[in-house]
Structure 1
Amino acid sequence: MPLTANAGSSITPQRGYCFAAPAQDALPTLLPQHNLAARLSPVWGRDELVGVLARRLPVQRLLTLTGVAGIGKSTLALALAERVLPRYRDGVWWVDMAVVQTPSELLGSLARVLQLHSTPASLNELGRRLASRHVLLVLDGADLLLGACRQLMRALREAAPGISVLFTSREALLAPGEWVVRVPRLAVPSPKALANVEQAMACPAVQLFVARARANQQGFDLRPQDLAPLGDLCRRLDGLPLALELAAAQVDALGIGGVQMQVRTGLQVLARGRRTAVERHRSLTAALDWSYERLSLPECWLFLQLSLFKMAVTLPTLSDLVTGTELEHADLSYLLARLVNVSLLSVEPGLGPARYRLLNCVRSYALGQLRDPRQVARLQQGYAPCLGAFSDRPFVLQLVEQAAHAQ
């Protein structure tokens, strides 16, 4: 017969001490406060990167995630913020820069998010009022107010050593102490990696596409006959998460083969967007519009010129193209660097001279701009003073003619 040890327990001969009372769940560990949105779906293909960034973030007070529109900077930032939340005593706080238009509005947004009793008069005052806090701030879409974000970091660096900041931006802040991480594309399957469905499903781009297709079409299942067109589709979309999501949303109406054909003949399918997303995330076209509209005229011209090439090109090749025009004296190195910095142009890895390429989605967008009469008129008007040898046959029109055959 068991011997009673104390309330809720007993001692059984030769069997030891055991609990007799009903077991109770342990009290949950309380996480610091935050305003992070609940994620509705997994993050595909980013676990290793999130782990690397999470290990670095405690000692790196300023981290900027950069990359082309649709690469998943916001998604990665949210996953990282969730991972490191327990490390910040006073919480992790998210600011959507899409609703912030001016430096004063940035101050107001930070005051509300951080629950300050009043809005500071300046960023320096904000830094002083946060001097004792241990917080991670996430500013999503910092490229909307780069100058104000640089000033914010200056104020926090001097007055608030416990504040870390994670930015997402299409270009780096170029602030002291900044750690810039260019978000990579999702891995896409090579033709040899499509022997069977199980092998294909090990690829992050395929995982994301299938997950979103299932969310839009009940009962969707990947079949062996789908593997070749899906692999081609993933490669044509360069592993861009937003492009893959938008394409997968059309599978219920077009099928995988139909979506593949749509992408092969143009990227109109990617102009259809998500109604509930913020404007710059609703479609890939909307996301790229934001970047394109902020280019200077020389940057715009070079961007469109690059769209005529399916393959990567070098600086000498581009220099040859402008020989004979007054544009041959333009600083092409600077313009190329600017397009790379704002995440519209990719640098291909490899030895030898740098090779530049527009991703397929970006190239298709640029070709579309050359077919838009309004964009052609803008270029003609802007370059009227410097058409030089092309005065009787503007090179802009030549670009348009070439673009018609460049798909």
Structure 2
Amino acid sequence: MSEQSTGSIYVFGPYRLQPSARILLRDGLPVGIGSRAFDILVALVQCPGQVLSRRDLMSLAWPGLTVEESNVRVQMAHLRREIHCGENGERYIVSIAGRGYCFVAPVDWEDYVDRGTEFEVSEVFPSGADGAGSLPSRPLHPVGRDECLIELTKAIEEKRLVTVVGPGGVGKTTLAIMTIHMSTSFDRIYFVDLSTVLDGGSIVDAIGAAAGITGANCTMELLATCLSGSRTLLTLDNCEHLIDAAAEVVERILHHASTAHILATSREAFRLPGETVHLLKPLAVPSPTSEISGEHALQWPAVRLFIDRAIEGGYSCPMDDEQVGIVAAICRRLEGNPLAIELVASRAGSYGLDRICELLDNQLALVWRGSRGAPQRHQTVQSMLDWSYAGLCDEDQSVLRRLSIFQDAFSLDAALAVARGGGIEDTDVAASIAVLVDKSLLVLQPGRGAATLKLSGFTKTYAAVKLAETAEYEGVHQRYVSYRSGMSDKVFDLKDPSLEHHRKMAVPAA
């Protein structure tokens, strides 16, 4: 047997663990245990029979962070529960009093080389010379998405059309790619990034190219034949800008290719018969009233993601209770959006947490750049929102800009009073609001009582910048002041956003 490699698969009981892919399977099905617990399990499995101290495990699971030893106990309890340690005679991890933990079950391992292993994605049809049809590489395991990953993997095996819906930057593409890499029940898997397709008439050609159909003018009949005959998973990423045309193609594929399943990502659903919508929500954040300590901060996915990315970006200050409180406040302002959190956290080392808080409502934060390898639409928050904004008609764009006048949640009556004018009637405003909610740009607030709406943090800043660039502001402000004069402060924040406040958003802070 050769020496263990980074691609080794560890086998114990009914489990197969591949650290490099960050996958744990039990009887062929994925097990979601969280990133910290996963790192602890890998450390133990790679050293079977050896005692690892809590400090050893802390340095592996929380590199660069000072955390309490109780975090290890919490993660260990969670890990044991998820792998059924102690149930039905299965014994994997034992505590050694005063020393640490030891993995006691027999462990075997094998090199990750065979295409037949369940970790390998199903075979893809040969593609053209340009590489069309190949699957994107497996991304890093997304923080806080273990349950979503399990649910989505199960959904696409049982349903023929599953659409992951959520706002820009929430992680739809990452979740979809992780899902297809973990899927084991399809004979063929194809991935099509529709963000590079400019018109609806080219969707069929793009899918045909991914499926290995060469030549021009791929027909629906030819495509249906190609997708039939075996269980096939077709993943259509970024459908929102071609939603009507994509919906028509999806409906025809499902009708003509009975063995095809479709996984789609979009900022709005297709609203087709038989469609299962997976609403991908932002990462959980602590409530404003909760007292969060450094010891318990990492239990919140949004906070954990921010701290991880801040450390990677050069932030080296100790994460005491005060610092963690600031991070929690920032994550709330960003409303748990993973892309926004990563972009902002990457500046923590350069700007400091306090300065970041000051700049969140400024246009400067919109243009902070992220990973150079990210798609262009995810390079900055502004480019992410440009992608959504460009997909709106002029009327919907105008309503979005006008709604940025509100500092907090607002009622439908308030929206109608402020956003009308300039040829836009109440019925037009209501229709635009429905579109903005469908496209995940406007949020309907949860809870009881009168329904209220809200623009998320960066969307509001972006829309305010757009409003400041037009001649609409004076009229919008006048209607806002007129309407609020007779309204309770329970409807929305009565802080009067001054003309200077909105216009300064168009100028980055020094």
Q: SS at the partner of 2:218?
A: coil
Deviates more, 1:56-65 or 1:355-364: 56-65
CA contact (8 A) 1:156 1:163 kept: yes
The structure-2 alpha-carbon separation of the partners of 1:273 and 1:163, relative to structure 1 and needing over 3 Å to count, comes to same
String of CA shifts for 1:341-377, please: whole Å, max 9, x gaps: 11110000122332111011111111111222xxx15
Q: Tell me, yes or no, if structure 1 residue 395 matches structure 2 residue 475.
A: yes
Residue number in structure 2 paired with 1:45:
144
CA contact (8 A) 1:124 1:155 kept: no
Deviates more, 1:66-75 or 1:358-367: 66-75
> Which structure has the highest helix share of the two?
1
Deviates more, 1:41-50 or 1:228-237: 41-50
Q: State how far apart, in whole Å, the 1-side matches of 2:303 and 2:420 are.
A: 44
1:397 is displaced (CA, Å) by 7.5
Residue number in structure 2 paired with 1:357:
454
> How do residues 123-138 of structure 1 correspond to structure 2 at under 5 angstroms?
123-138=220-235
Q: SS at the partner of 2:339?
A: helix
Residue number in structure 2 paired with 1:89:
187
Which structure 1 segments of 5+ residues have no match? 1-22, 381-393
Residue number in structure 2 paired with 1:166:
263
The structure-2 alpha-carbon separation of the partners of 1:358 and 1:218, relative to structure 1 and needing over 3 Å to count, comes to closer
1:81 is displaced (CA, Å) by 2.0
> How do residues 138-149 of structure 1 correspond to structure 2 at under 5 angstroms?
138-149=235-246
1:310 is displaced (CA, Å) by 1.9
Instruction: Give 1:307's match in structure 2, choosing from 392, 395, 404.
Output: 404
1:398 is displaced (CA, Å) by 5.0
Instruction: Give 1:367's match in structure 2, choosing from 464, 474, 478.
Output: 464
Residue number in structure 2 paired with 1:271:
367
Q: State how far apart, in whole Å, the 1-side matches of 2:498 and 2:221 are.
A: 53
1:294 is displaced (CA, Å) by 2.7
Q: In structure 2, give the amino acid aligned to 1:296.
A: C
1:206 is displaced (CA, Å) by 0.9
1:168 is displaced (CA, Å) by 1.0
String of CA shifts for 1:163-203, please: whole Å, max 9, x gaps: 11111111222222222222111111234544421201110
Deviates more, 1:176-185 or 1:116-125: 116-125
> How do residues 31-42 of structure 1 correspond to structure 2 at under 5 angstroms?
31=120, 32-33=122-123, 35-42=134-141
Q: State how far apart, in whole Å, the 2-side matches of 1:352 and 1:207 are.
A: 33
Residue number in structure 1 paired with 2:39:
none
Q: State how far apart, in whole Å, the 1-side matches of 2:479 and 2:430 are.
A: 21
The structure-2 alpha-carbon separation of the partners of 1:313 and 1:214, relative to structure 1 and needing over 3 Å to count, comes to same
String of CA shifts for 1:237-257, please: whole Å, max 9, x gaps: 111111101001111211222
1:307 is displaced (CA, Å) by 0.9
String of CA shifts for 1:319-355, please: whole Å, max 9, x gaps: 3346887644434332211110111100001223321
1:405 is displaced (CA, Å) by 3.8
1:97 is displaced (CA, Å) by 1.3
String of CA shifts for 1:84-107, please: whole Å, max 9, x gaps: x211122x2221112222345433
Q: State how far apart, in whole Å, the 2-side matches of 1:397 and 1:287 are.
A: 27
CA contact (8 A) 2:285 2:336 kept: yes
Q: State how far apart, in whole Å, the 1-side matches of 2:137 and 2:319 are.
A: 28
Q: State how far apart, in whole Å, the 1-side matches of 2:228 and 2:423 are.
A: 54
> RMSD in angstroms over aligned alpha carbons?
2.8
CA contact (8 A) 1:141 1:169 kept: yes
Q: In structure 1, give the amino acid aligned to 2:320.
A: R
> How do residues 4-153 of structure 1 correspond to structure 2 at under 5 angstroms?
25=110, 29-30=116-117, 31=120, 32-33=122-123, 35-83=134-182, 85-90=183-188, 92-103=189-200, 105-116=202-213, 118=215, 121-153=218-250
The structure-2 alpha-carbon separation of the partners of 1:25 and 1:361, relative to structure 1 and needing over 3 Å to count, comes to closer
Normalised TM-score (structure 1): 0.81
Identity of aligned residues (%): 28
Q: SS at the partner of 2:277?
A: strand
> How do residues 177-192 of structure 1 correspond to structure 2 at under 5 angstroms?
177-191=274-288
CA contact (8 A) 1:311 1:357 kept: yes
Normalised TM-score (structure 2): 0.65
Q: SS at the partner of 1:330?
A: helix
> How do residues 211-222 of structure 1 correspond to structure 2 at under 5 angstroms?
211-217=308-314, 222=319
Equivalenced residue count is: 365
Instruction: Give 2:330's match in structure 1, choosing from 208, 229, 233.
Output: 233
Which structure 2 segments of 5+ residues have no match? 1-107, 125-133, 481-496, 506-510
String of CA shifts for 1:194-218, please: whole Å, max 9, x gaps: 4421201110001111121222227
Q: SS at the partner of 1:57?
A: helix
Q: SS at the partner of 1:349?
A: coil
String of CA shifts for 1:125-165, please: whole Å, max 9, x gaps: 21123221311111111123223312321221122111111
The structure-2 alpha-carbon separation of the partners of 1:327 and 1:99, relative to structure 1 and needing over 3 Å to count, comes to closer
Q: SS at the partner of 2:413?
A: helix
Deviates more, 1:229-238 or 1:56-65: 56-65
Q: In structure 1, give the amino acid aligned to 2:364.
A: Q
String of CA shifts for 1:246-275, please: whole Å, max 9, x gaps: 001111211222222221x42522312233
Deviates more, 1:26-35 or 1:178-187: 26-35
Larger radius of gyration between Structure 1 and Structure 2: 1
Instruction: Give 2:388's match in structure 1, choosing from 284, 291, 296.
Output: 291
Q: State how far apart, in whole Å, the 2-side matches of 1:221 and 1:108 are.
A: 53
